[in-house]
Amino acid sequence: MRMSEENIKLFYKLYPALLFYTNKQIKKIKDISTLEEFIDLSGEEKLKIRNALWDKISLIDSFIEGNPFEFSVEELEIIQSWKNLVKGKFYLIRYLKKHAIFFDVSDHPCAYGVVALNDEFERILGPHLPIILEMVLLPFKEQITYDGFIVPYRSTFGEVFRQDINNIYRETKSKYGIISSLPFSIEEAKQSDADRLKFYIRNKHNREMYWEGIGELIDKNSNLLILYHSEMCKIHARTYRKRLREIGFSNVWFAILEGIVVTSGLTRDG
């Protein structure tokens, strides 16, 4: 998914101006005296200026203070918000209708839902995932986009590695969800133990993978044992419902515990 045309136009009004100002302050590329001359620079030259900006993020403050392009208060607030960037290496792991999913390479990995600028990410990077790359994620109003520069790595991933990445992504998603706005706080975004337990037992694959985690959550909070049995009962009920109907049982209620029918009755209350 791309940002709206209105927001894309606004982004390309603000970001080149900030980069031009950056070059004017640090003179990374010489003899650039107008914004038009900056826009005509090669991608490699612009990348050097962009890297210099994120190495000296205080330039955003001086840009806002001087406001050399006479931007509006709202436009300056957008630029100010870019100080909440996320910079680093990411795995691109999903193309979804709403956004692409970028999973950062860090000690506390998070999954970000990112919208593209002029071109869809799949058009830029191709259909084969995952891909590892370097980029800068920026807040833009209520969404996350990127600053227009992507540095991909040439790499090939085996099936085991792909599974590992997907498993880490699922677990991270169960903890924090998909982050779709910045700034983001891990502490504020942590999901409840109940939500995490539901994720752990959602399907057979998860139950096998997170079996120890299920036990740890229940040991930590004994009230979750009721939730555990309730969710597992729903899972087993789907299987029993089909089998019992096949052998002629209908309008009968069954109580299930740990996958075993322990009692039955003609009404829900027995």
d(CA 37, CA 23): 12
pLDDT at 223 (0 to 100)? 87
Write down the pLDDT at residue 79.
Answer: 98
Give Cβ neighbours of residue 221 (< 8 Å, ≥ 6 apart): 193
pLDDT of residue 57: 97
Return the number of other C-beta atoms located less than 10 Å from residue 115's C-beta: 21
Residue 142, judged by CB atoms within 10 A of its CB (0-12, 13-18, 19+), counts as exposed
Condensed to tens digits (0 to 9), the pLDDT of residues 165-189 reads 888 888 888 778 899 999 987 665 5
pLDDT of residue 212: 87
**Over the stretch 113-168, which tens digit does the pLDDT of each residue have?**
999 999 999 999 999 999 999 999 999 999 999 999 999 998 888 888 888 888 88
Q: Are 1 and 97 in contact (CB under 8 A)?
A: yes
Domain ranges of the chain: 5-83, 85-186, 226-265
Give residue-wise pLDDT tens across range 92-116: 999 999 999 999 988 888 999 999 9
pLDDT of 43 higher than 60: yes
Residue 251's pLDDT is: 67
Whether the per-residue pLDDT at 208 is higher than 90: the answer is no
Q: How far is CA 11 from CA 78, 138, 141, 212, in A?
A: 9, 11, 11, 46
Least confident of 37-46, 96-105, 207-216: 207-216
Residues 245-259: tens digit of each pLDDT: 677 666 666 666 666
- For CA atoms 7, 12, 17, 22, the dihedral sign is positive
Whether 39 and 152 have beta carbons less than 8 Å apart is answered as no
Distance CA 182, CA 172 (A): 17
